[in-house]
Amino acid sequence: MSIEMNRTAIVTGGSRGIGRAVVRRLAEQGYAVVVGYAGNADEAAAAVKEAEAAGAQAVAYRADVADETAVAGMFAEAESRFGGVDAVVNAAGRMTLARVEDIDLDEMDALHRTNIRGAFVVAREAARRVRPGGSITLFSTSVVGTAFPTYGAYAASKGAVEALTMVLAKEMRGRDVNVNTVAPGPTATELFLEGKSDELVTRLAKSNPLERLAEPRDIAEVAAFLATPAGHWVNGQVVRANGGMV
């Protein structure tokens, strides 16, 4: 049942993984959705069809989150097509795993361009355009706390996002817009599973008291809640959605 009427969401990274699950969940809640994607037009089109099947209006928009011109165009598309922007979920991200002594600095720069610059570009545009009563939701990772080896560059990039969260929430004073960050634990997405052995995946699944990996839907429920009136009083927080992993 729809709980939101005439409201619009932008979801970056919306063609796959957690972002795509967020698109579906917001569509189920009645949001019109702009599916932001970096390159895979077929997957983005499929995400649009899933949103439409849930009864929502949806459109795909190609935008590199680190490109301020492209991101501004995506917001302008949302305003032109659907009348405004009420929820922004920045689920776009990149992951590179390596020990600090082995990190390829070009790969690290590319990761930080997406995860840090991209988060700031999307947050900046959202801060300028989100309507009163709206929400801005960013993404981090629980690895910021667990500090697994080989995650140094990735965790550092997401630590920057966490540092931004409360600052932006305070800067939005008087606008009636909440700002939060969701920090998932191990989640069964293509990005997470790539290159991991079955043994490692099993060990990580057992690392929380619920003894399983999250499904993208589990994380989408948290992000979607923060975008609703029911979640509006949660503000300036980093929500570690990880099944109790420490």
Residues 6+ apart with CB under 8 A from 199: none
- pLDDT tens per residue, range 17-35: 999 999 999 999 999 999 9
- pLDDT band at 233; cut points 50, 70, 90: very high
- pLDDT band at 5; cut points 50, 70, 90: low
Give the chain's domains with CATH numbers. 8-239 (3.40.50.720)
- pLDDT tens per residue, range 34-53: 999 999 999 999 999 999 99
Q: What is the pLDDT of residue 100?
A: 97
87: amino acid identity, one letter: A
Kindly tell me if the per-residue pLDDT of 147 is higher than 50. yes
Q: According to the 3-state scheme, what is the secondary structure of 98-111? A: CCHHHCCHHHHHHH
Kindly tell me if the per-residue pLDDT of 193 is higher than 90. no
- pLDDT band at 2; cut points 50, 70, 90: very low
Distance CA 133, CA 85 (A): 10
Distance CA 73, CA 246 (A): 40
Active-site residue (options: 31, 61, 151, 154): 154
Q: What is the pLDDT of residue 219?
A: 97
- pLDDT tens per residue, range 152-179: 999 999 999 999 999 999 999 999 999 9
- pLDDT tens per residue, range 66-122: 999 999 999 999 999 999 999 999 999 999 999 999 999 999 999 999 999 999 999
Q: Any catalytic annotation for residue 151?
A: no
Q: In residues, how long is the chain?
A: 246
**Percent of the chain topping pLDDT 70:** 98
Q: What is the DSSP string of the chain?
A: -----S-EEEEETTTSHHHHHHHHHHHHTT-EEEEEESS-HHHHHHHHHHHHHTT--EEEEE--TT-HHHHHHHHHHHHHHHS---EEEE---------GGG--HHHHHHHHIIIIIHHHHHHHHHHHHPPTT-EEEEE--THHHH--TT-HHHHHHHHHHHHHHHHHHHHTTTS--EEEEE---SB-SHHHHTT--HHHHHHHHTTSTT-SPBPHHHHHHHHHHHHSGGGTT--S-EE--STT--
- pLDDT band at 197; cut points 50, 70, 90: confident
- pLDDT band at 3; cut points 50, 70, 90: very low
Kindly tell me if the per-residue pLDDT of 204 is higher than 90. no
Parallel, antiparallel or unpaired: strands 8-12 and 32-37: parallel
* Top-confidence residue, 129 or 202: 129
